[in-house]
A and B are shown apart, each in its own frame.
Chain A
Amino acid sequence: MNIVVCVKQVPDTATERKLRSDDKTLDRDAADGVVNELDEYAVEEALRLKEAHGGEVTVLSMGPAKATETIRKALAMGADKAVHLSDDALRGSDALSTSYALAETLKKIGFDLVILGSESTDARTGVLAAMLAERLGTPQLTLANKVEVDGSAIAIQRVTDYGYDKVEASLPAVVSVVEKINEPRYPSFKGIMAAKKKPVETLAIGDAEISADQVGLASAWSEVVDFAAAPPRAAGTVVKDEGDGGVKAAEFLASKKFV
């Protein structure tokens, strides 16, 4: 089975994240870049499927040159090779352009199964997997907390508000995973060393037949009008429980008409 895992480098949630004042895009230099945490679950799931069914795991990442750190991490976990889609023309791409660029690349490199994390911790749109399924015309198996493959049949459990749906499809397909699906492995020392020698193919947009007028900030389908730091919340009242903390909280709720 030919599995492609889409991996994104994101600014570390623990550091202060900013938008740039000039073009209102994410300031990627302001914060340390890390692997989008949910993508680690996607890599893990791909590796488990490969271990069970054979095949190959390819990491696909779109991002600036510095995203190679993220790609190496996925390779160190055990992926076989990587494709790095990197081109200045891609900067500022929104979800529509990103899905277009990734879909074109996927068509070029081929796949039986594409696996993504359910969302990225920076943009948090949660739409990319659905968009890829739409563009590729393949089944959408998103928000999975369980994936099973049997020959060309694939079944997942899709997390819903009320519990989950059991969903069935056949390959090729696009899967997105939630964090409850597995426990991502840590790269071993051997894995880290091996990753340095694994092939990483860098593609510019022309290599993947991506047209420049469909990507990048200038071609985005939406724009940021303006932005500002959120005003801090007004300081609240904090009391120490002296045996009547519950009563005091009830009084506060009553003053706000909640009881």
Chain B
Amino acid sequence: MSEILVLVEHADGDVKKVTLELLTLARSLGEPSAVWAGPGYTDAAKAKLAEYGAGKIYVAESEEIAGYVVAPKAELLAKLVSDASPAAVLVAATAEGKEIAGRLAIKTDSGVITDAVGLGEGFVADQSIFGGGVNVRSRVTKGTPIVAVRPNSTAPVAEPGAGAEEKVEIALSDAARGAKVVERVKQERGARPELTEAAIVVSGGRGVGSGENFSIIEKLADSLGAAVGASRAATDAGWYPHQFQVGQTGKTVSPQLYVAAGISGAIQHRAGMQTSKTIVVINKDSEAPIFEIADFGVVGDLFQVVPQLTEEIEKRK
């Protein structure tokens, strides 16, 4: 079977869930090889990648790879594409993943597809465009298909692979060392799952009214083991940090469950959450467009409904 490269997303030595999804997807189309870029590789990471079907694991651990913006990872993948001639390259459709895919496409003279929500035979990708209004199937017609796949597009299923390790040395070009990362600033809010990866997301909007009030949203999220999201109205007001914004110019999420409280459902918000499997809405205005996409909606004051919901969930645990 033909080899498919999967770029591993990792943080603090842990393999992220999206990578397990990509390995699962790659198994249906060929033989997945994981590509680890940057420091932090551990035996646990290796075991995880093998458990989800990595036949090979290319490991490029140099500090330099993580020390510059995007370009080193694209260079690493380009080297592997030329050495191993894979059938395709899969990356996670995060902001950075897409940038890596873009640069790799130029380096390898290949086509690139971003934000795939599915991938089938012949590497035909499913995409959802125009705020979820149109479904498109597209494919790469030149070079090695490079596909950026959205988190939560497939359920990860374990199926062991050989996990044969291969160390990769790479001498970065000067061009790849142009933009140096001098400091990483973490602004995390509690130990919640990452927004794009979370199975459940609870989001608050302008209706939440203030930064302090977001604790109501956080409590509901915690009762469900969910990530917290916010509409642009809420991040613009400074009530919640920007990296938690869901929508057109924020994160695109596709969880099993999305709860929207005090959010009207503007097209730009829906563009970031419309593919959620189940949508629950709490809004005091029964005319709010978000109800159009709700599987379950409560017309009511979120300051009453959300705490009651949280309490009820805690009771049922």
> Contact residues of A with B, CB < 8 Å?
13-14, 16-19, 37-38, 94-96, 99, 118-119, 121-122, 124-131, 133-135, 137-143, 145, 157-169, 173, 178-180, 220-230, 233-234, 236-241, 243-250, 252-254, 256, 258-259
Contact = CB atoms under 8 A, between A and B. Distances in A.
Contact of B182 (A159, A166, A221, A254): A166
Contact of B181 (A135, A166, A222): A166
B316 interface: yes
A236 B295 contact: yes
B80 to A, nearest CB: 17
Nearest to A255: B296
Contact of A246 (B183, B236, B312): B312
A129 to B, nearest CB: 8
A247 to B, nearest CB: 5
A22 to B, nearest CB: 15
B299 interface: yes
A95 B69 contact: no
B299 A241 contact: yes
B291 A238 contact: yes
B102 A245 contact: no
A246 B305 contact: yes
Given A161-B194, A167-B69, 17 more contacts: A13-B131, A38-B249, A126-B99, A126-B114, A130-B70, A130-B100, A131-B102, A137-B175, A140-B70, A162-B184, A167-B181, A221-B112, A222-B141, A240-B286, A241-B301, A246-B308, A247-B308
Contact of B105 (A19, A96, A163, A236): A96
A25 to B, nearest CB: 12
A163 B95 contact: no
Interface stretch (B43-51, B132-140, B153-161): B132-140
Nearest to A17: B130
Interface stretch (B19-27, B31-39, B56-64, B185-193): B185-193
27 contacts: A95-B112, A118-B249, A125-B102, A126-B99, A127-B102, A128-B102, A131-B103, A133-B71, A134-B102, A140-B71, A140-B179, A159-B95, A165-B184, A167-B179, A168-B179, A178-B242, A224-B137, A225-B139, A238-B294, A245-B308, A245-B309, A249-B280, A249-B312, A250-B313, A250-B316, A253-B224, A259-B313
A239 B235 contact: no
B178 A138 contact: yes
A140 B96 CA distance: 12
B29 interface: no
A241 B301 CA distance: 8
Given A127-B102, A131-B106, A142-B70, A239 B299 contact: yes
A161 B242 CA distance: 10
B139 A222 contact: yes
A165 B292 CA distance: 38
Contact of B309 (A131, A159, A229, A250): A250
Please give me the 4 A-B residue pairs with the lowest Cβ-Cβ distance, nearest first.
A246-B308, A241-B300, A127-B102, A221-B111
Contacts of A126: 95, 98-99, 114
B137 A245 contact: no
B71 A96 contact: no
Contacts of A254: 316
Nearest to B96: A160
A178 B292 CA distance: 29
B140 A164 contact: no
Nearest to A166: B183
A18 B136 CA distance: 11
A18 B106 CA distance: 28
Contact of B278 (A122, A133, A145, A256): A256
Nearest to B183: A166
Contacts of A118: 95, 249
B138 A223 contact: yes
B282 A245 contact: yes
Given A226-B137, A240-B286, A165 B95 contact: no
A13 B106 contact: no
Contacts of A99: 102, 106
A35 to B, nearest CB: 14
B317 interface: yes
A135 B102 CA distance: 11
B243 A124 contact: no
B196 A134 contact: no
Contacts of B138: 222-225
Contacts of B301: 241
Contacts of A130: 70, 98-100, 102-103
Interface in B101-143: 101-103, 105-107, 110-115, 124, 128-143
A94 B111 contact: yes
Given A19-B134, A126-B114, A162-B184, A178 B299 contact: no
Interface string B275-310: 000111010001000011111111111001111111
A258 B131 CA distance: 26
Contacts of A243: 304
